Amino acid sequence: MVEISVDTERCVGAGQCVLSAPDVFDQDDDGIVTVLEANPDADQAAEVVQAERICPAQAITVREG
Amino acid sequence: MTGTDTSLADFPMRRPGVAFPPPEYAHFREQPGLVRSRLPTGAAVWLVTRHEDVRTVLTDPRVSSNPDHDGFPSLLGRTGGVPSPDTMPGWFVALDPPEHDRFRKTLIPEFSVRRIRQLRPVVERIVGDRIDAMLAAGGTADLVADFALPVPSLVISGLLGVPEVDRDFFESRTRVLVTTTSTDQQREAATKQLLRYLDRLIAIKRKRPGDDLISRLLAAGTITPAELSGVSMLLLIAGHETTANNIALGVLTLLMHPQWIGDAGVVEELLRLHSVADLVALRVATEDLDVSGQLIRAGEGIVPLVAAANHDEGAFGCPHRFDPGRKARHHVAFGYGVHQCLGQNLVRIEMEAAYQALFDRIPGLRLARPAAELPFKYDGVLFGLHSLPVQW
């Protein structure tokens, strides 16, 4: 189980998180990150960790729950 | 080493053809700290070649992309020149936060994953029309001039709201701008003509808004009409030759590795492998900082090399191998940090649509010349091909 938080102020709308973990992240009408699933399943953990790592604005934080 | 050391390696290094990037990069990555090198201007710069170091430099707030700072590196012969925020209002890639953020935030809804996916049918129609034209013209084509360049040109002019009747003018002027054989005078004239055209287009959209990007940005009201010319010019240039080079090099690589045609992972791996914008992200330190144990002083130029980062053994095993099966999504082909390519999802859609339609509709597509003899852009700022003769 992981726990996700995002900093919408930092987000630059690259959409890398949406491409990495489409069931967990989305972009709102302004193109800013939104979290669809704040506590994703273990089988999504790898995708979520990748999204954290490749976010160009370092706006995603993932904690092991 | 110091800035007056005459033994510094000259930069940029000449690039080998298909086997881009320069072999020196692998050697640089093994050196402790960073590599000091000399630009054609005579100025010394720090080369950053490791994946993690490139990410560090591109996200450090003490590192600026504003060319108005003393010590900002300049490469001679850059295609189209590098405007600064002073010479071209709206040229926001040259601005740092927080000034930069107003432009980026206004533009990101236009380039979100969802919005770009909605453009897919438009991109597919443009790709299909170009293939129709190639097939109608006979059994040979130059895949750069006849396909890879017109596709992004038509996509961006449609996005900006350039009327159909003006597309030929718009595309021909843009072509001058991105063709490396154009003279500086031709390029300067084309830039002026395009800016004048965009000014006029923006004025028309102010009176009669349409369903296009310029009209929506005017309605948002956060970017002034004067800045909007610079923004439009930036979108036009940034998405053009880069995308064209990605499409053409990708076709070449897929023709050399046909077993991967149709694989879902090819686009991401092609972006990593070719890293066409290796020399684009130029930076300068505004305060002293440490990168991998190397002190960079305020006012020293920095060149984070995305192709070097994307061929770092530490980040990608057997980096020179074309392997769409690897998970290559952490590549930095689009840069990293707040300036990471705004149009990256559009590039992905254009590449996907291009490969799918080309290989579906022209299954007999093959090179008309051996790969080693192709005219690679050995000395350009962007890596790519001047032409790609094909037949079927």
CB contact under 8 A, A32 and B108: yes
Distance, in Å, from the CA atom of B185 to the CA atom of B63, rounded to the nearest integer, reads 33
Tell me what ipTM this predicted complex has.
Answer: 0.96
Beta strands B301-304 and B294-296, pairing class? unpaired
Chain B touched by A49 (CB under 8 Å): no
Within B303-373, residue ranges assigned H as helices are: 306-310, 344-361
For testing the chain B interface, which of A7, A8, A10, A16 should be mutated: the one with the most B CBs within 10 Å? A16
pLDDT of residue B76: 61
Whether A13 and B105 lie within 8 Å, measured CB to CB: yes
Contact by Cβ (8 Å): B15, B22:
yes
Q: What angle do CA B271, B342, B95 make, to 5 degrees?
A: 120
Choose, out of A10, A36, A54, A55, the residue to mutate when testing the contact with B (most B CBs < 10 Å).
Answer: A54
Residue position matching structure tokens 């740092």: B96
Q: Read off the tokens for A46.
A: 């790898």
Asked if B103 and B342 count as a contact pair (C-beta separation under 8 A), the reply is no
Q: Please list the alpha-helical segments (H only) found in B120-166.
A: 120-137, 150-160
- Supply the pTM of this predicted model: 0.95
**pLDDT band for position A62 (cuts 50, 70, 90):** very high
Maximum Cα–Cα distance across chain A: 30
Q: Does A32 touch chain B (CB under 8 A)?
A: yes
Output the CA–CA distances (angstroms, integers) from residue B306 to B122, B277, B370, B377, B383, in the order listed.
31, 7, 28, 17, 12
Burial (CB count <10 Å: 0-12, 13-18, 19+), residue B59: middle
Q: At what angle do helices B120-137 and B150-160 cross, to 10 degrees?
A: 140
- Give the pLDDT of residue B81: 53
What pLDDT is recorded for position B77?
Answer: 46
Q: Inspect the interface and report whether the beta carbons of A27 and B112 lie closer than 8 Å.
A: yes
Tens-binned pLDDT, residue by residue, of chain B (392 aa) = 444 455 788 999 988 887 789 999 999 999 999 999 999 888 999 999 999 999 999 999 999 999 889 999 987 644 335 577 777 899 999 999 999 999 999 999 999 999 999 999 999 999 999 999 999 999 999 999 999 999 999 999 999 999 989 988 988 888 888 776 788 889 889 989 999 999 999 999 999 999 999 999 999 999 998 899 999 999 998 888 899 999 999 999 999 999 999 999 999 999 999 999 999 999 999 999 999 999 999 999 999 999 999 999 999 999 999 999 998 999 999 999 999 999 999 999 999 999 999 999 999 999 999 999 999 988 778 899 999 999 99
Q: Structure tokens of B191?
A: 């830039």
DSSP B54-65: HHHHHH-TTEE-
d(CA A63, CA B332): 24
With a CB cutoff of 8 Å and minimum separation 6, the contacts of A57 are A7, A10, A11, A12, A14, B337, B338
Q: Are B24 and B9 in contact (CB under 8 A)?
A: yes
Q: For residue A15, what are its two tokens?
A: 């959409």
| B370 prior amide bond cis, ω within 30 | no
- Cβ distance B335 to A29 less than 8 Å, yes or no, reads no
Facing B108 at nearest CB: one of A12, A20, A26: A12
Spatial CB neighbours of B322, under 8 Å, sequence gap ≥ 6: B253, B256, B257, B260, B269, B270, B273
Q: Which two tokens stand for residue A17?
A: 């998180």
User: What's the confidence (pLDDT) of residue B75?
Assistant: 79
Residue B374 confidence (pLDDT): 95
- CB contact under 8 Å between B112 and A53, yes or no, is no
Instruction: Please give, rounded to a whole number of angstroms, the shortest distance from the CA of A54 to a CA of chain B.
Output: 6
